[in-house]
A and B are shown apart, each in its own frame.
Chain A
Amino acid sequence: MSETVLDVRDLHTHFFLRRGVVKAVDGVSFSLRRGEVLGLVGESGCGKSLTALSLMRLLPKGGARTIKGEVLLDGENILERSPAAMREIRGRRISMVLQDPQTSLNPVFSIGDQLREALLRRHRAPRPQLTQESVEALRRVEIAAPEQRLGQYPHQMSGGMKQRVVGAIAIAGQPAVLIADEPTTALDVTIQLQYLKLLKRLQVETGMAILFITHDFGVVGRMCDRVAVMYAGRIVECGPVRRIFEAPQHPYTRALIASVPKMTGPIGRLTTIEGQPPSLMDLPVGCRFASRCVQAEPRCLEAYPRTVQVGREHTADCWKVVPA
């Protein structure tokens, strides 16, 4: 159970623009075990999505390059594989669900076409068999009357249904790792919960590992086994969900958890974090959170803190934390 399926080491993905280098992912390390759900949490622009795209090696056009680090999938560094070999890996060993279901499906092909195409990646089978498998794939993601749905086009479905189809496509190749990049952000709140339950069920059934990217701590609590908190291109704290909720160590994590609205207790103003994250083009030499940190000391501005083991499987990048 504790076997590592995905090991990301010191990943650097930067945007090389005419006006400078944007260090969007700047030394990210984490590992994912078989059958585990790891949450990757952080605010907009902290590099979560770019980390995911780096793992898929599908970086956006316009100067983004992974310049350093290793992505070990079952021990094999996929950053070194040829583009053709990488295509064999995508969909079958590592796959991804995108944020916006409205634009994730090709509007001019039927659901059946798009599913069969994904299923063909698993094995070459005659069309009737693929159609039968498509029906099963849709049933698995809890779509009613799947036989009728196959002939339909994306615009004939609701957002929640489309996202379930995207899910079915993503796991059609039976990947060992699924990256879910804010899959519920674009859905209605009531549909969100259904989708999360579905994803969790699929994860338990298939035993795949999920890297779950979100900015919502509520979702983390529901979905994840462990959580990694990202800030300005780096992971600042990582640990089991319970530990992070009960005893967050990094001041940023503490501030984030404090800013989650509570449904109990007296009604007051929401807690916020003062200031802005640093520019990814001009990062400070010291701790990246120092300028907003209430506990910052001179040494926090001078050097980036080392990663400290603060508990079992629990690490934090902060000068002030006490090693376990």
Chain B
Amino acid sequence: MYDLLGNILTINFRLNGEPCEAVAVAPTKTVLEYLRDDQGLKGTKEGCAEGDCGACSVVLVRNGTDQRVAVNSCLLAVGQLDGAELTTVEGLSERNGELESVQQAIVNEDGTQCGFCTPGFVMALHALRHSEETVSEEIIHDALAGNLCRCTGYRSIVDAARAACTVAVQGTTPRADHETSEAHEVGGQKFFAPKTLAQLVALRAAYPDAPLLSGGTDLGLSFSKGREHFPTTIFTQNVVEMRHIEDRPDSLTIGAAATYTESLPFIEAAWPSFATLVRRIGSRQIRNVGTIGGNIGNASPIGDTPPCLIALDATLQLQGPNGPREIVLEDYFLDYRKTDLAADEVIAAVQVPKLDESQVFRTYKISKRYDQDISAVIGAFRLTIENDVVREARIAFGGMAATPKRAAACEVALIGKTWTEETARKAGTLIAEDFAPIDDHRASAAYRVRVASNLFVRLFRDLAGQDVTEVVTL
């Protein structure tokens, strides 16, 4: 519990409105375990410990923000709470026993059966109720995509959401603006939370083996299920420069520690199709802390944003001891989980050029379930079409190789051709030249090739606007 200068520091936050100090708690202990074991707050449940069921949902006002957001406490490290406001299901109802609106609505609609998932639903909807969104059917499903219920069939819960969340909430959420500490140490575990990029780079150099923790939606699995106790962890989401989003007329630069949720409005404005995809990444609980920087950093072959960013010709801004370095994203992915990032470098931001008038962008994700599923295949297409002729094509796929990768043969088959369904279909048939995917539990190799190829036909029909092309839109 010492900072870089040897000062004693602790993890301070507010828990259900009361000041709270995590004393002698390992900083990478999950918030779920901390709540249940250390605080005796048993309302928050563990359903999966992998951020996919939502039973552990709590509401957080992250440090430096004034939004109540739902997050999965099973993937959140206690160190990430520093300076935040945390609300659990125990903190909702009034002392006189009066239920919070969402709770009352769920009771009214018979929205509970076994009740184990219920606290998580309550927290997800509590966050929705306090958001500034205009609540629609679409938004309700968006807000509930991270919560699984096995009993009710959801209809009653959706009705409760409609009843409770369409009424404006009085008052605003106070900003969580508490002083945070740069370092914690408990039981030999160091947890650094630098506030500047320079500090981060220095720590990266000093602890080259320490994992970088951003939202923790991937690394958090190492804490929750992997039961790993890293000697040193470096948390990046307090780094001011990395939370910045810069929106220019010709490009969007997203800081590596900016969350999906924070980035979404900017992505929506520039590439609506990309925004539709982002809304299918994990759930709100995931996107409220997860970052595009992390999605790139972990270099998974099935990450959803890299194919889009490659098709959009994004550039990574890296920072190391010798200063900044830029690299085209496509060149960053070397092999399965291998990247061009040097051991002493960090990803600071990703810069994405916007479309010019002749360009179109579409991305399609194929998975067993529409919401909160990992892609079997994801295709991203940026075409430059002038006078019905394809001038340029940048096409990238995920789930088709060990890294997100461009479909070079398909691109060649399109460039210079008149843009017709036949052109699209023919280009799609070349998928098998570009990729040799694998069989796994998400899909067979044959299906992956077939569907990737068919996505070219969908692309044509979608751009032509002549046919409804996605079942979810009905």
A and B interact: no
Which residues of chain B have a CB within 8 Å of any CB of chain A?
A: none
Q: Could you tell me which A residues sit within 8 Å of B by CB distance? A: none
